[in-house]
Chain A
Amino acid sequence: MLPRCSALRTNQQGWFIERTLLIRFATLALFTVFVSSCGRTNLVEEATEGKVLLLANGAEPRSCDPHLVQSVGDSNIMRALFEGLVTFHISEDDTAAPGVAERWEPNEDFSVWTFYLREDAKWSNGEPITAHDFAYSYERVLTPELASPYASMLFPLQGAEEFNKGETDDFSTVGVKVIDDRTLELSLIGPMDYFPEVLKHTTWLPVPKETIEKFGKMTDRYTDWQRPGNHVGNGPFVLKSWRINHSLTVEPNSHYWDRETVKLNEIRFIPIPNEYTEERAFRDSRLHYTYTMPNNMIAWYRENQPHLLRTEPYAGSYFYRFNVNEPPMNDPKVRKALTLAIDREAIVKNVTQGGQEPSFGFTPPFKGVYEPPKMVEFNPGKARELLAEAGYPNGEGFPGFQILINTQEAHRTVAETIQAMWKEHLGIDNVTINNQEWKVFQQTLHDLNYEVARSGWIGDYVHPMTFLTMWQTDDTNNETGWSNAEYDRLIREAFEAADPAVRQEKMFAAEKILLDELPIAPIYWYTRVYLLHPDVKNWNPKVLDNRPFKHVDLIDSGPAYQ
């Protein structure tokens, strides 16, 4: 019809031209894509050269306020941005390295500690840090209005619990005394030879009064002081940028007293909640370190790239809670039978595969500090006997119950394995598995609305007490309904004991009661399994995964995969 089309009269010719045009466009598009993507860089190589550490860090950080953070990933960032009176040793778990305090001394029964602050300790804005800053910070954590979730970490301080519960609003009743700008005295409610360990926790970190109050009240939780540009800390690094779900970067703090030691130019904390994505990012040279590792890839790495795989003990316990208020779990014999029928060795070897230790107690063994009583074992014969004694020979007549888990594939496989073991060894065949989304799961647990529930506990500091206090009557983390007066007494006495050997004895005796009554079925002790690029140096195993970043270095050591 139109003149310019006249040459294309025949159908076939028309299609032909149309098609070549299409092909040309497609080729052009592909070529553009190809050329533009040729600039694909090897991030890790570049980063090592520029001394930029690329760390995967689990979920997105929820806060940059050390008094409000809760997760392990968040406390990693706090460790770069802040420094407490004492700080983490480069390799030892139970040794405190000097932080803002250059030295400290306890009185003879470890109940009053005096800290001598170094003269050159400064905030990242150049202002000096004094004992007053620490007093202010402790007051902030303990002030009820801030609602610091971990305020109880400060309860070893005299009068702290009363102040935090609002029984008094006079902070001078709390055992914090500023003797002068550089001397701080902390009075505790009892002797605590391991107090420096407790002090390493994020809640004990100092915060800058001036900055906090510039952006709001002392107790406001959601103010802008946590943002890059506003943030002030006192750690080896300062906050450089923060893009949600992308990365949070820190750079060296030029006012840090020990800046000579700091070797990195930047740390990039990258939130990757999906462990498979994380592994791909590592394989794609986008990370120096993965936060965790998919269970089903561990065997491959162990076989083919063992130099990248790290498996380290971790101060955490994986266990099942029993709701002791509900029959039949109110019968200790039933709980014991269920516990004895779990083959932990098989779970660790075939299911979790991450080199975890089958637990023989609840508290993980702390090298040189504490070894739990060996009371948990796999003994199907004895388990059957106990179940028969409880009135259910061969599992006959045993009421059906549910194993409650939070939705996650790894928990389901463990639960299914245990379900099969209970069936095989005890003849209990009416166990079902119920999974709930995390928050619902926590609520159900808290309401004691379950029969058996999967649980985990990671220590807050390197000492058995962080595993044993939670089983006291009415502790908010007990959540089993279990209560034992003798246990409560022993824990109290352990807490009050000035002599570490006596404390050891009391803790051991208390854990024996716990493992005899078994409101819980211990399963395994955690390990940290992750991938680490060979370029990363001074990266030592730590049972709480709390490496001091100031020592970490990057030196080119060739490609990761061989």
Chain B
Amino acid sequence: MLKFIVSRFFQGLLALFCVLTLTFFLSRFAPGSPYTDEKQIPLHIREQMKEQMGLGDSIVVQWAKSMVDAATGFQGPSWGNSGFSVREVIGQAFPVSISVGLSGLFIALGIGVPAGVLAAAKRNTKIDYSLMSIALLGICLPTFVIGPIFAAIFGFQLQWFSAVGWNQPTDFLLPSLVLGLYYGAYIARLTRSGMLDTLSADFIRTARAKGLPEWRVMIIHALRGGLLPVVNYLGPAFSALITGSFVVESIFGLPGLGTHFINAAKNRDYNLIQGTVCVFAILILTLNFVADLLQAVLNPRLRNVSETAD
């Protein structure tokens, strides 16, 4: 097991290095620069700006500097946010994205898993069909449609939440609900199919034959296997919840990381591009790793394989 963890760690580092290098070169090769704007800046001023931003060096030197900056925790300035380092910009935005993303994930699981289990238990009944139709609707409706509708209902009509803004402690709820619904719908479908697979397995028949109550069969025996596809999906889903929240951040006016991810690229704020990409890469790598570990815990067969491999 330890060997597995260590090897995954070094694989992750290598992947991170490749991602950052690729991002560096892609962002430099994109047309335009941090100082192109509508009112053209005279040539001699542009040269000076290049000098101040360290863009006068050769591309290899710039790349090396950017790697050192990444290794030392992004202390370099964000050009789009004068007076702030990339580290601070990310430090301010990350908690927002995490709290919205995490509660979005809980909402997704809280809705998706029970709905999936219920649909599987009542397979091919009206309950199953209606739950799965709602789930399909949830998957099809994009957040930029649901977002404003929810803001109108819960904000303007019912007056429960703020329609926009990040000022009160409850302001994370509406955006996480909008974010969570889509993933909840997907998780419901995954749970249902996972449960159905497991329910047809022999050990379930044995459990039922032993006279176990149905709820025990479902929750204790079937769910463990039935959740495997969901766990597989959690890593990518959680990173997508955090990275993909640009639309939700823009709809609800949240100071999150998704906005920086997009704006850094738009402003050609090279330092911030590296910083945000790095955060997301680490997030995805870690979550995939955690999902793999969880798989091993939930699936005894997999655990045995890794143990014999050790």
Contacts and interface: CB of A to CB of B under 8 A. Distances in A.
Interface of A: 1, 5, 8-11, 14-15, 18, 22, 33-34, 36-41, 43, 60, 62-65, 68, 70, 144-152, 164-166, 220-227, 243-246, 270, 272-274, 276-277, 280-281, 283-284, 286, 437-440, 442-444, 446, 456, 476-477, 479
A9 B92 contact: no
Contacts of B268: 439
Given A34-B160, A286-B164, A442-B38, A68 B82 contact: yes
A273 B247 CA distance: 12
Contact of A65 (B82, B169, B216, B250): B82
15 contacts: A1-B216, A11-B215, A39-B168, A60-B81, A70-B39, A151-B42, A225-B83, A244-B89, A244-B93, A246-B92, A272-B253, A284-B162, A439-B32, A439-B33, A444-B31
Contact of B160 (A37, A442, A479): A37
- Chain A to chain B: the 9 pairs with minimum beta-carbon distance, closest first: A439-B32, A147-B48, A63-B82, A226-B83, A245-B255, A476-B40, A11-B214, A222-B77, A284-B163
Given A40-B168, A244-B92, A222 B215 contact: no
A15 B214 contact: yes
A280 B44 CA distance: 44
A244 B255 contact: yes
Given A274-B251, A477-B39, A280 B151 contact: yes
B167 A446 contact: no
Contacts of B30: 439-440
Contact of B81 (A11, A152, A244, A456): A244
A283 B44 contact: no
B263 interface: yes
A443 B31 contact: yes
A14 B40 contact: no
Nearest to A439: B32
Contacts of B259: 245
A286 B93 contact: no
A246 B165 CA distance: 8
Q: How large is the interface on B (under 10, 10 to 19, 20 to 34, 35 or more residues)?
A: 35 or more
B43 interface: yes
A145 B170 contact: no
Contacts of B32: 437-440, 442-443
B294 interface: no
A227 B170 CA distance: 29
A439 B39 contact: no
Interface string B87-108: 0010011000000000000000
A223 B83 contact: yes
B82 A64 contact: yes
Among B82, B166, B213, residue most surrounded by chain A Cβ atoms (within 10 Å): B82
B49 A277 contact: no
A547 to B, nearest CB: 22
B35 interface: yes
A438 B160 CA distance: 38
Interface in B222-260: 250-256, 259-260
Contacts of A151: 42, 45
Given A11-B213, A146-B48, A476-B41, A33 B173 contact: yes
B263 to A, nearest CB: 7
A5 B214 CA distance: 12
Contacts of A68: 82
Contacts of A33: 160, 170, 173
Contacts of B163: 280-281, 283-284, 286
B12 interface: no
B13 to A, nearest CB: 29
Contact of A437 (B83, B219, B260, B266): B266
A151 B47 CA distance: 14
A221 B54 CA distance: 12
Nearest to A34: B160
B307 to A, nearest CB: 29
Contacts of B252: 277
Given A14-B214, A15-B214, A222-B79, 5 more contacts: A70-B39, A149-B35, A151-B45, A227-B83, A281-B165
B19 interface: no
A407 to B, nearest CB: 10
Contact of A40 (B35, B36, B83, B162): B162
A440 B266 CA distance: 10
Interface string B41-77: 1111110110110000000000000000000000001
Nearest to A16: B215
Contacts of B162: 40, 284, 286
Nearest to B208: A11
Given A62-B82, A456-B38, A8 B213 contact: yes
B161 interface: yes
A367 to B, nearest CB: 25
B257 to A, nearest CB: 10
Nearest to A56: B253
B84 interface: yes
Contacts of B156: 283-284
B234 to A, nearest CB: 21
B213 A476 contact: no
B206 interface: no
B279 interface: no
A476 B266 contact: no
A144 B45 contact: yes
A435 B161 CA distance: 38
Most chain B CB within 10 A, of A62, A225, A270, is at A62
A491 to B, nearest CB: 18
Given A62-B82, A243-B92, A272-B253, A5 B213 contact: yes
Contacts of A39: 168, 170
B142 interface: no
A70 B37 contact: yes
B213 A277 contact: no
B82 A145 contact: no
B159 interface: yes
B137 interface: no
A165 B255 contact: no
Given A33-B173, A222-B79, A244 B84 contact: yes
B81 A37 contact: no
Contacts of B263: 60
A495 B39 CA distance: 21
B164 A281 contact: yes
Contacts of A43: 165, 167
In the complex, which of the residues B43, B89, B165, B252 has the most CB atoms of chain A within 10 Å of its own CB atom? B165
A38 B83 CA distance: 38
A222 to B, nearest CB: 4
Contacts of A1: 212, 216
Contacts of A280: 148, 151, 155, 163-164
Contacts of A63: 82-83
A165 B161 contact: no
A514 to B, nearest CB: 18
Nearest to A222: B77
Contacts of B267: 439
A224 B83 contact: yes
B136 to A, nearest CB: 22
B98 to A, nearest CB: 15
